[in-house]
Amino acid sequence: METKETTIRKVYVFRGRILTVRNDDALMPNGDVRSREVVEHPGGVCVLPVQNDGTILLVEQFRYPYMEDVLEAPAGKLERGEDPLSAGKRELREETGMVATEYFDLGVDYPSPGYTDEVIHLYAARGLTEVGQDLDDDEFLNVKRLSFSAALEMIYNNEIKDSKTAMAILKYKDLLNLGKLDGKKL
Amino acid sequence: METKETTIRKVYVFRGRILTVRNDDALMPNGDVRSREVVEHPGGVCVLPVQNDGTILLVEQFRYPYMEDVLEAPAGKLERGEDPLSAGKRELREETGMVATEYFDLGVDYPSPGYTDEVIHLYAARGLTEVGQDLDDDEFLNVKRLSFSAALEMIYNNEIKDSKTAMAILKYKDLLNLGKLDGKKL
């Protein structure tokens, strides 16, 4: 089946500090015209910090859309024109106070392809050294240290719900166990 | 560190067919007032159909925000007040033409907690019987049959990028291998 849709008209309905929202007219493969609601996002990065003893660092922070604390790997938005790995290093440093000697490419995450164009770049970091946290002035979070097996249990029991965090942990584990992680080293 | 943020004022900036967008004033834990951009979403569902021979069914569809075809497990939005499992059965039937005798609860996915309140409910379906596809009139997709190992390879190689699909496949595999899947049977 032909699936391609084309833009007839881009209609900007909101331009915020982070998000831009469109309500476009789009041409469907069968010739119909439909509205397509799109959230434009600058892109994100997520870094899973794995310590020498196999423990990982996650951050717990209040997520306003859910009105609850959410446990996530260190993450953030890309600044305009910023290289994803550089952004990952920046967020790791800011949120956990760590710098790393080794980075691994865990691919990208499309969080919800029906309406957002966000691409989240996933990395693992090893060879960690503490140099001191440096939070943004609207960031309030607590760093949590977990054994890898405890983090896996939390995914299986649905206590870790954040998709980038679950993807990063599960992919890291499988790539390591399959001997494929070294091929992802940056 | 105290993390809780509270709403001072809800400001609706867009009400679309699917998405509602707010740009709220929120009180930070340190007493500052900040804007918080929120996408309200009705919630989603994703069903991983696993056939008796272990092959899985995915759907490839054009995703307008990315302007590319994306490979995903069958999925869709919740209708107002709809039970997530019922929605999953509906989407599985509509998109792949399959009904299932067994469903397993794979938890929920928070796709991008910084700005969306979407909750995606994840299930696996087994005991599949074909009864005929029934697509929405703005849905254009192709069903793909893959071996489970091929799907895993596509996750490790970053060819499957959709987070709900990767989470569902990786969690299903681990829960099955750990003998924990039966405890998730619905």
pLDDT band, very low/low/confident/very high, at A66 (cuts 50, 70, 90): very high
C-beta of residue B22 within 8 angstroms of C-beta of residue B99 = no
Q: In a 3-state reduction of DSSP, which class is residue A177?
A: helix
Q: How confident is the model at residue A168 (pLDDT cuts 50, 70, 90)?
A: very high
Token pair for residue A11? 């209609």
Handedness of CA B174, B93, B130, B165 (dihedral sign): negative
Cα gap B180→B137, rounded to integer Å: 39
What is residue A132's predicted lDDT score, i.e. its pLDDT? 84
- d(C-alpha B109, C-alpha B44), whole Å: 9
In order of A54, A143, B77, B167, B184, the CA distances from A173 in angstroms are: 11, 21, 31, 13, 22
Q: Band of the pLDDT at A137, cuts 50, 70, 90? A: confident
In this prediction, residue B135 carries a pLDDT of 79
Q: Does A174 score more than 90 pLDDT?
A: yes
Contact A21/B19, CB-based, under 8 Å? yes
Please report the pLDDT score of residue A105 as a whole number: 98
Inter-chain residue contact B140 with A13, CB threshold 8 Å: no
Q: What is the pLDDT of residue A169?
A: 98
Residue B48: predicted pLDDT: 98
pLDDT at site B139: 79
Strands (E), chain B: 6-9, 12-15, 20-27, 33-40, 44-49, 56-63, 68-72, 75-77, 98-109, 120-130, 141-146
Distances (CA, A) of B131 to A29, B57, B95: 25, 15, 11
Burial (CB count within 10 angstroms: exposed 0-12, middle 13-18, buried 19+), residue B53: exposed
The interface pTM score, or ipTM, of the predicted complex is 0.96
Inter-chain CB pairs, A–B, below 8 Å: 221
Confidence at residue A166, expressed as pLDDT on a 0 to 100 scale = 98
In terms of C-beta density within 10 A (0-12 exposed, 13-18 middle, 19 or more buried), how is residue A49 classed?
buried
User: Which residues are registered as beta bridge partners of B83?
Assistant: none
Shortest CB distance from B115 goes to which of A2, A18, A37? A18
Summarised one tens digit per residue, pLDDT across range B93-129 is 999 999 999 999 999 999 999 999 999 999 999 999 9
φ/ψ of residue B154, rounded to 5: -65, -30
Q: Which of A99, A186, A97 is nearest to A139 (CA)?
A: A97
Instruction: Please tell me the distance from the alpha carbon of residue A75 to that of residue A96, in angstroms, as a whole number.
Output: 10
- How far is residue A75 CA from its own chain's centroid? 6
Give mean pLDDT in consecutive 10-residue pieces for chain B, a chain of 186 residues: 94 97 96 96 98 97 97 96 96 96 98 98 97 81 96 98 98 98 96
Q: Please classify residue A17 by burial: count the beta carbons closer than 10 Å to its beta carbon, then call 0-12 exposed, 13-18 middle and 19+ buried.
A: exposed
Distance from CA of B173 to the nearest CA of A (A): 11
Cα–Cα distance, B163 to B96 (Å, whole number): 20
* B116 chain-A contacts, CB cut-off 8 A: 39, 65, 111-112, 116
pLDDT at A70: 98
User: For an interface test with A, which of B148, B167, B174, B180 has the most A Cβ atoms less than 10 Å from its Cβ?
Assistant: B167
pLDDT classification of A158: cutoffs 50, 70, 90: very high
In this predicted structure, what is the pLDDT of residue A171? 98
